[in-house]
Amino acid sequence: MPSRVTAEAVDEACEEIKGRGETPTNESVRAYIGGGSFGAISPLVKAWKKADKAWYAREEANRRREAEDRAMSDDSDERNEPDVIDMPARNAEGTNPQAQLVELFRRIVQGQQRQAVLLESILNVLVSRQSEDMVV
């Protein structure tokens, strides 16, 4: 009797499981294809994950770029003012240029805090993916 565990069957199972938003494991692939030994399934799942990792890295880079673009556009939408400040002793509104610099500095720090939160979430995703890859 021919084995049900083929590279094509495992690839199909992994894609289906991934499509459901789950991480393919030896157990879930075995359940999907209806049997087979873990000794036969495991190297094929590892091979699929290795190939999928390259795809995932490209997707993650795209997501990161999109998130950075959103963060930058959110930052510029909130300001709606030029980045350069006129520095006379007093401006037309009669405010102190130092106060303007303090406000600009505060806005810069807020933008950096948003970027730090974004970078932290990206790092968490990468660490969790790396942990998942080590499980198999």
Q: Are 5 and 37 in contact (CB under 8 A)?
A: yes
Dist. CA 106–CA 110, nearest whole Å: 6
Dist. CA 30–CA 5, nearest whole Å: 9
Q: Per residue in 17-74, pLDDT tens?
A: 989 988 899 999 999 999 999 999 999 999 998 887 877 777 778 888 888 888 777 6
Alpha carbons within 13 angstroms on the beta-carbon side of residue 71 total 18
Residue 122 has pLDDT above 90, yes or no: no
Mean pLDDT of the chain: 78
Q: Look at residue 90 in the predicted model and tell me its pLDDT.
A: 56
Give residue 1's pLDDT band: very low, low, confident or very high (50, 70, 90). very low
Q: At what angle do helices 38-79 and 97-135 cross, to 10 degrees?
A: 170
Residues of the chain above pLDDT 90, percent: 26
